[in-house]
Amino acid sequence: MIESTAGVIAALVGIAAFYFWLAKATGWKLFNYLIPLIWIYATPMVLRNVGVLPGSSPAYDVLRHFGLPMLITMLLLPINVGAVVRIMGKGVLVMLLGTVGVMVGAPIGLLVVKGWLAPDAWKGFGALAGSWIGGTANMAGVSAMIDTPPEQFGLAILADAAIYVGWLPLLLVSKSFADRFNRWARVPEGRLRQMELAAAEERREERPPSVPDVLYLFALALGVTWLAGWVAPLIPQIGKIVAENGAVSYVVSTSTWEVLLWTTLGILLSFTPARNIASSHNIAMAILYVFVARMGAQASLEGLSQAIPFVAGAAIWIVVHGLFCLLGARLFRVDVHSVAIASAANIGAAASAPVVAAHHRESLIPVAVLMALLGYAIGNFAGFGAAQLCRLAAGL
The tens digit of pLDDT for each residue in 191-204 reads: 777 777 776 666 66
**H helices of 50-188, where?**
58-62, 68-76, 81-88, 91-113, 121-133, 136-146, 150-173, 178-184
Instruction: Give the mean pLDDT of the chain.
Output: 89
Q: Is the dihedral of CA 250, 251, 252, 254 positive or negative?
A: positive
| Mean pLDDT value across residues 3-10 | 93
pLDDT score recorded for residue 131: 94
pLDDT score recorded for residue 90: 87
| Mean pLDDT value across residues 208-215 | 91
> Contact 393/110 with Cβ under 8 angstroms?
yes
pLDDT score recorded for residue 358: 86
Confidence of residue 38 (pLDDT cuts 50, 70, 90): confident
Least confident span in 85-89, 176-180, 343-347: 85-89
Confidence of residue 209 (pLDDT cuts 50, 70, 90): confident
Kindly list the distances between the CA atom of residue 2 and the CA atoms of 6, 43, 57, 177, in Å, as whole numbers in the listed order.
9, 14, 10, 54
Backbone angles phi, psi at 89, to 5 degrees: 55, -125
Cα-Cα-Cα-Cα dihedral of 176, 179, 183, 185, to 10°? 40
Question: Residue 168: pLDDT above 90?
Answer: no
Amino acid at 86: R
Give residue limits of the domains in the chain. 66-140+158-281+302-393
Question: Residue 279: pLDDT above 90?
Answer: no
Confidence of residue 56 (pLDDT cuts 50, 70, 90): confident
> Contact 125/109 with Cβ under 8 angstroms?
yes
> Contact 58/307 with Cβ under 8 angstroms?
no
